[in-house]
């Protein structure tokens, strides 16, 4: 194994064992760094990270733009490189960090799609609850919108992840960070009914029984949830990105529109930084005028 790959694998092992990063995140780092290493060996004839300088990294980013990658993708690739070089400095494998001098490309921030509050009820009523699948889908839709959790977090829920008494869901997010998310009465009602349909309850189910399952009582696949939720959303909304993530966006947007504190929304979503949550602060002009009139001394 060549030196660059060996160092990369040591870095990935550090992210997993020392930093507790998820497999998904580690795979993303590996994909990004493999591309960088290929560039170093094939284009620059470099076999050691000590030989990398600021120009090497800039040249690499330039080739990524030339190949048609977006600013967002290139910025993520650079973030992976910066993390690697930070690790190399910390483990004293290099004495100078060229990556800190490279500025990240500007990303045009697109607002996330969300479903208008007026059609949320129509969306929730889309599944045919006279069928087992429809009952499950209704429970999924209600819990998704009530909690704003990620698709991967929803699929990973077990029945004992739900505390029906206090109406809290225990969620394992990115980096296996645990958080408790409250949910409303509607979500509780439909999840309870879905469990009854499976001849189960919160009290009777064995530990680690998956909350949402397919017909074989196996944990429902990600692709199934994506496909079915997309089909329901298409009934009430138009656009390209109409997957389950739009319910997370709607959850955050509706909370912010109704005056929720951005820090509270950040914690509910499981974001590491406020900058990730700020994309939801697109308050409608009429709402802004109302807040202004209520709050400003000369607002009348």
Among all residues, which ones are annotated catalytic?
150, 174, 245, 248, 271, 280
Tallying the residues shown for the chain, one arrives at: 300
- Residue 67 and residue 169: Cα distance in Å, rounded? 43
> Do the beta carbons of residue 153 and residue 24 sit within 8 Å?
no
Q: Sheet with 162-163: list strands edge to edge.
A: 162-163, 168-172, 178-182
> Do the beta carbons of residue 277 and residue 260 sit within 8 Å?
no
> Do the beta carbons of residue 104 and residue 235 sit within 8 Å?
no
- Residue 97 and residue 87: Cα distance in Å, rounded? 10
E strand or H helix at 286: helix 285-295
- Can you name the residues that pair with 172 across neighbouring β-strands? 178
DSSP string covering 188-208: HHHHHHHHHHTT--TTTSPTT
- Residue 238 and residue 227: Cα distance in Å, rounded? 16
3-state secondary structure of 41: helix
């Amino acid at each position: 194994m060549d030196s660059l790959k060996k160092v990369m694998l040591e870095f990935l092992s550090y992210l997993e064992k020392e930093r507790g990063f998820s497999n998904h995140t580690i795979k993303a780092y590996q994909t990004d760094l493999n591309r960088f290493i290929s560039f170093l060996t094939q284009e620059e004839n470099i076999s050691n990270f000590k030989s990398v300088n600021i120009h090497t990294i800039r040249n690499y980013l330039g080739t990524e733009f030339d190949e048609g990658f977006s600013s967002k993708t290139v910025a993520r690739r650079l973030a992976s490189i910066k993390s690697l070089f930070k690790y190399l400095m910390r483990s004293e494998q290099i004495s100078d960090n060229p990556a800190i001098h490279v500025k990240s490309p500007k990303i045009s921030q697109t607002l996330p799609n969300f479903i208008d509050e007026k059609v949320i009820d129509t969306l929730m009523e889309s599944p045919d609850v006279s069928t087992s699948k429809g009952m499950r889908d209704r429970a999924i839709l209600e819990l998704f919108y009530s909690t704003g959790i990620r698709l991967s977090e929803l699929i990973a829920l077990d029945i004992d992840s739900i505390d029906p008494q206090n109406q809290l869901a225990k969620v394992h997010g990115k980096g296996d960070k645990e958080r408790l998310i409250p949910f409303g009465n509607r979500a509780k009602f439909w999840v309870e009914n879905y469990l009854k349909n499976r001849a189960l309850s919160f009290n009777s189910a064995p530990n680690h029984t998956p909350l949402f399952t397919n017909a074989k009582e196996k944990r429902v696949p990600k692709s199934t949830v994506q496909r079915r939720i997309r089909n329901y959303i298409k009934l009430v909304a138009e656009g390209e990105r109409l997957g389950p993530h739009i319910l997370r966006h709607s959850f955050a947007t509706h909370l912010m529109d109704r005056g929720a504190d951005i820090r509270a929304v950040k914690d509910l979503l499981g974001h590491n930084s406020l900058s990730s949550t700020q994309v939801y602060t697109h308050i409608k002009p009429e709402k802004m005028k109302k807040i202004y009139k209520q709050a400003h001394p000369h607002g009348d």
